[in-house]
A and B are shown apart, each in its own frame.
Chain A
């Protein structure tokens, strides 16, 4: 992984993101733990495939949510998820 260049977030390989039909929610699954995501949380993390930069993710979400303060909230959310060790 090159240290230079913008961050291209990807889920840690221990983490599985999936939709749970029974609870109608996106979940992060990992050993001994399941985390229920908010609707937008799941939507953001679905874009974290290691190819998109944070700016790409913000831009892509902006097409669906033109009035939301994405430029502040998305990077902050991604940092929180990275701090938990779920994003690389």
Chain B
């Protein structure tokens, strides 16, 4: 018996006003004309709830670009699902938020790229800081639970104290400090984004000091998402493949993780063709790396195999070409040198310019470092 999923990540569109070089959307973005309809999403939320999903992130791209967003949220609410809007803040007026709250929206997560306007706008690839500041005021005034998400990397880690202060000033209840995960666009931009170890050490000290001086209820709660390139242990990605969460993309592609678009031979199912219950329990894609039977190399005998599940399948695929290998972020991986070498050369070389996320895939010839699938 496969345990029921808890969460749905609904990527309702890939369209976005921002162009962040670490975007978690796939390199090849889904066109607007291929997006699921309002009725499709209503059915997906109904099926998800039947299956056991109780929480959804309504995300994108920028979900506010869907004119029918309130209808989608209302369908989620009817199904009894707790919904969080994940937004850049661009376009979040008091009227729009009011409409979403009336439809049953439960909470809002706003992204911020850096503490100050120039840095934030540079990463976003667009003037947007003022929009975000205004959106924060709208969220705060509505009294809805307010999370701030900041993706951390070499260009903003040294501003962490100031980032936290901005979050506190804007009234966030929690700040997710999400160290960049390097696949897709972020892997494409790794040379420009990968931080140095001493930056991370200082950042961790900043977080620890904030927590020490701010008790519960005194300012935002900080959530630190670990930078796996430096930890020597992989992250238990998604709580295990096909264990807790389903991602549904704008065109109905269903995946165990939003980064899994890149695993070329996965042949992901689509909610237009199959019920979500079949996708979760029966599909080859959701069963491919479920449990521990698929494990290779050091994972198979590892005492941590039920803790971190061999790490991230998408990272193993991106770096080694084989999603069934141990995550190279693990110090026990035979491929760990791929990660170690990257951290050893931080800041060296000239690759400091971003390739901004935009429709149309970037030049694929240098998409990612690859080695043959077996060593």
> Chain A residues near B54 (CB, 8 Å)?
18, 20, 27, 29, 34
Closest beta carbon of chain A to B167's beta carbon, Å: 14
Interface string of B107-144 (1 = CB under 8 A from A): 10100000000000000000000000000000000010
User: Cα distance A23–B51 when bound, in Å?
Assistant: 10
Which residues of chain A from 4 to 26 have any CB-CB distance to chain B below 8 Å in the complex? 13-14, 16, 18, 20, 22-23
In the assembled complex, B262 has its CB within 8 A of some CB on chain A? no
- Verify if B52 is at the interface (C-beta below 8 Å from A): yes
**Are A31 and B174 within 8 A (Cβ)?**
yes
B185-204 interface with A by 8 A CB criterion: none
**Given A14-B107, A22-B4, A85-B216, CB of A30 within 8 Å of CB of B145:** yes
Question: Among A18, A32, A34, which residue has its beta carbon within 8 angstroms of that of B80?
Answer: A18
Nearest Cβ on chain A to B256's Cβ, whole angstroms:
19
B82 beta carbon closer than 8 Å to chain A:
yes
Residue interface bits B4-33, CB-to-A below 8 A is 1, else 0: 101000000000000000000000000000
CB of B86, distance to nearest CB on chain A (Å)? 11
- Interface contact A31-B52, CB-CB below 8 Å: no
CA distance A56 to B50 in the complex (A): 35
Chain B contact residue count (CB 8 A cutoff): 21
CB distance from A10 to the nearest CB of B (A): 15
- Of the listed residues A13, A22, A27, A31, the one surrounded by the most CB atoms of chain B closer than 10 A to its CB is A31
Interface residues on A, range: 10 to 19
Say which residue of A16, A30, A34 sits within 8 Å of B6 (CB atoms): A34
What mask results when residues 222 to 248 of chain B are scored 1 for a CB within 8 Å of chain A, else 0? Answer: 010000000000000000000000000
Across the interface, which residues of B come within 8 angstroms of A85, CB to CB? Answer: 216-217
Measured between beta carbons, the chain B residues less than 8 angstroms from A18 are 54, 80
Whether a CB of chain A sits under 8 angstroms from the CB of B88 is no
Please, which residues of chain B bring their CB within 8 A of the CB of A29? Answer: 54-55, 82, 106
Is B250 positioned at the interface, with any CB of A under 8 Å from its CB?
A: no
Known interface pairs A14-B145, A34-B6. Does A20 touch B82 (Cβ–Cβ under 8 Å)?
A: no
Contact of A31 among B50, B147, B216 (CB under 8 A): B147
Taking a contact as CB atoms under 8 Å apart, the answer to whether A22 and B52 are in contact is: yes
**Docked-complex contact B52 and A23, CB < 8 angstroms:** yes
Contact with B along A34-47 (1 / 0, CB 8 A): 10000000000000
Complex-state Cα separation, A18 to B223, whole angstroms: 26
Is there contact, CB below 8 Å, between B107 and A31? yes
Bound CA span A31–B139, Å: 14
Residues of A within 8 A of B223 (CB): 32
CA distance A85 to B215 in the complex (A): 13
Complex interface: chain A residues within 8 A of B109 (CB): 31
Q: Is there a chain A Cβ closer than 8 Å to B84's Cβ?
A: yes
CB contacts under 8 Å to A, within B138-165, are: 143, 145, 147
How far, in angstroms, from A85 to B220 measured CA to CA in the complex? Answer: 13
Residues of B60-107 whose CB lies within 8 A of A: 80, 82, 84, 106-107
B203-219 with Cβ < 8 A to chain A: 216-217
Q: Among the listed B4, B50, B147, B217, which residue makes an inter-chain contact with A32, where contact means beta carbons less than 8 Å apart? A: B147
Q: Which residue of A lies closest to B77 (CB)?
A: A16
Chain B residues whose CB sits within 8 angstroms of the CB of A22 once the complex forms: 4, 50-52
Apart from A31-B145, A34-B54, list 19 A-B contacts with CB within 8 A: A13-B143, A14-B106, A14-B107, A14-B173, A18-B80, A20-B54, A22-B50, A22-B51, A29-B54, A29-B55, A30-B107, A31-B84, A31-B109, A31-B147, A32-B147, A32-B174, A32-B223, A85-B216, A85-B217
B residues with CB within 8 A of A: 4, 6, 50-52, 54-55, 80, 82, 84, 106-107, 109, 143, 145, 147, 173-174, 216-217, 223
* 3 closest Cβ pairs, A-B complex: A22-B52, A29-B82, A14-B145
30 pairs, CB–CB < 8 Å, chain A vs chain B:
A13-B143, A14-B106, A14-B107, A14-B173, A16-B82, A16-B106, A18-B54, A20-B54, A22-B4, A22-B52, A23-B4, A23-B52, A27-B54, A29-B54, A29-B55, A29-B106, A30-B107, A31-B109, A31-B145, A31-B147, A31-B173, A31-B174, A32-B84, A32-B147, A32-B174, A32-B223, A34-B6, A34-B54, A34-B55, A85-B217
